[in-house]
Amino acid sequence: MTATQKMIAALLPGADSWQFWLRLSVLFAAVDQAVKHLITVLMPLGTSHPVTSFFNVVHVRNRGAAFSFLADADGWQRYAFIALGICVSAGLAWILRRGVASRAEALAYALIIGGAMGNVIDRIVRGSVVDYLDFHWLGWHWPAFNIADIYLTTTALLLIMTAIGISAESPGKHTPLPDNRC
């Protein structure tokens, strides 16, 4: 075991267990929901608070997907995105249960599950996703987003890294997690 692997094992006890990664995904979803709850309680819908010259905290809702894709549809998209989020999360949980190639890959799947379920909870409870991070420059605003969206974006980078063989445990090598089938 390399020094990096020992450090990761010390920081993340049980990180070779699929249950650890599912618990972590629940934590990710809980953090996302806690922040969204604070936004909905502390800020009326449609308000904006400048934080810096390029960043505002806002309270907006998105009935669609990324970049408000399908936001203006007739309402069917809510149920389609709920079903999609649940199916993707269940599929990734199954993959984690079967075993993955590295902790980076397991973390990526945990982030996807946490982010997807955070947004699914919003769609079920609120009918739309709460977005609150608004970056802008010279009057141009990036579409508002939330922590769940950061999880999903970070995941893309992690999966690309694992696909090309970059691993947090051992650069250039895949470190398989133990097979956890019962």
Q: Which residues are catalytic?
A: 131, 149
Q: Which residues lie below 8 Å from residue 163, measured CB to CB, with a gap of 6+?
A: none
Distance CA 99, CA 178 (A): 7
